[in-house]
């Protein structure tokens, strides 16, 4: 009798353990699903929206020529630079139809930032708004129509990242207006310092002689970028 009771007791203990192990296993599987599914969905959503932006960028190159856009490799560099520096507050001088703005916005989507982009021409500004919408980045960009030299003084800093790509003979004006609004450690990038160097000599002189800026040059494409970091 005693042996029988002991056996019964042991069986119940083993059954209970098996049941508990079963529940633990189910709980672990559920936890993995709860973690993995939202991550997968987020990734799919972000690569889906990247695909939408890339499709529009390709479409713009084919259907909107003559907009003086940066090259695709330069757009990619702008996006990477935003992510690398963790920039959140970005300013672009010269939106045109929004090509470089979309690349910048793709970087800002990763850092949680926002772009203010300035354009003086109302037709190109309209195209830019349409392109931002089609690329799915409208919520990341505010476009201001007008002369950057009038708008920049109205903007509230500090900015982490400024991209200058408007009238070449006005680069020094943009620099003088924007620099006080850039935080220490912030970056001022200018386009066309290689292919249109003769038109921006005064700008290159200004950034390479300013003791508050450290400047390097990057050839991510045919235009060429200057990259000036504000030291103080
Ligand atoms: C080289 S395009 C910009 C290209 C654009 N960053 C891109 O890569 O897609 C220069 C733009 O600056 C605009 N622009 C020129 N002077 C300006 C000013 N003072 N204020 C604002 N925009 C200006 C022009 O109308 C033109 O659309």
Cα(56)–Cα(50) distance, integer angstroms: 10
- pLDDT (tens place) for every residue of the chain, 232 residues total: 455 666 666 566 556 566 565 555 454 555 444 444 444 444 544 556 699 999 999 999 999 999 999 999 999 999 999 999 999 999 999 999 999 999 999 999 999 999 999 999 999 999 999 999 999 999 999 999 999 999 999 999 999 999 999 999 999 999 999 999 999 999 999 999 999 999 999 999 999 999 999 999 999 999 999 999 999 9
Collapsed DSSP state (helix, strand, coil) of residue 63: helix
Q: Give me the residue spans of the domains in the chain.
A: 1-63, 69-230
Pocket test for ligand 1, best of 66, 76, 119, 130 (most atoms within 8 A of CB): 119
CATH superfamily to which 69-230 belongs = Vaccinia Virus protein VP39 (3.40.50.150)
Cα(226)–Cα(194) distance, integer angstroms: 9
Pocket test for ligand 1, best of 73, 76, 96, 193 (most atoms within 8 A of CB): 96
Residue with tokens 């019964």: 8
Atom of ligand 1 lying closest to residue 118 CA: 21
Atom of ligand 1 lying closest to residue 163 CA: 6
């Amino acid at each position: 009798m005693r042996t029988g009771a002991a056996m019964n007791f042991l069986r119940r203990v083993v059954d209970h353990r098996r049941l508990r192990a079963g529940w633990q296993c189910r709980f672990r599987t559920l936890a993995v699903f709860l973690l993995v599914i939202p991550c997968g969905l987020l990734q799919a959503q972000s690569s889906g929206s990247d695909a939408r932006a890339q499709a529009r960028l390709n479409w713009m190159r084919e259907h909107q020529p003559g907009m003086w856009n940066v090259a695709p490799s330069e757009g990619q560099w702008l996006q990477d630079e935003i992510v690398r520096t963790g920039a959140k507050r970005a300013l672009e001088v010269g939106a045109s139809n929004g090509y470089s703005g979309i690349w910048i916005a793709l970087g800002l989507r990763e850092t949680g930032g926002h772009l203010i982009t300035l354009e003086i021409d109302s037709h190109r500004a309209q195209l830019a708004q349409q392109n931002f919408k089609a690329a799915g980045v409208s919520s990341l960009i505010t476009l201001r129509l007008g002369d950057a030299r009038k708008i920049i003084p109205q903007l509230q800093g500090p900015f982490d990242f400024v991209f200058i790509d408007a009238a070449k003979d006005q680069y020094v004006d943009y620099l003088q207006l924007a620099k006080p609004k850039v935080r220490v450690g912030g970056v001022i990038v200018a386009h066309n310092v290689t292919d249109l160097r003769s038109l921006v000599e005064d700008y290159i002189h200004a950034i390479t002689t300013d003791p508050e800026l450290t400047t390097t040059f990057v050839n991510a494409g045919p235009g060429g970028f200057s990259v000036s970091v504000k030291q103080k």
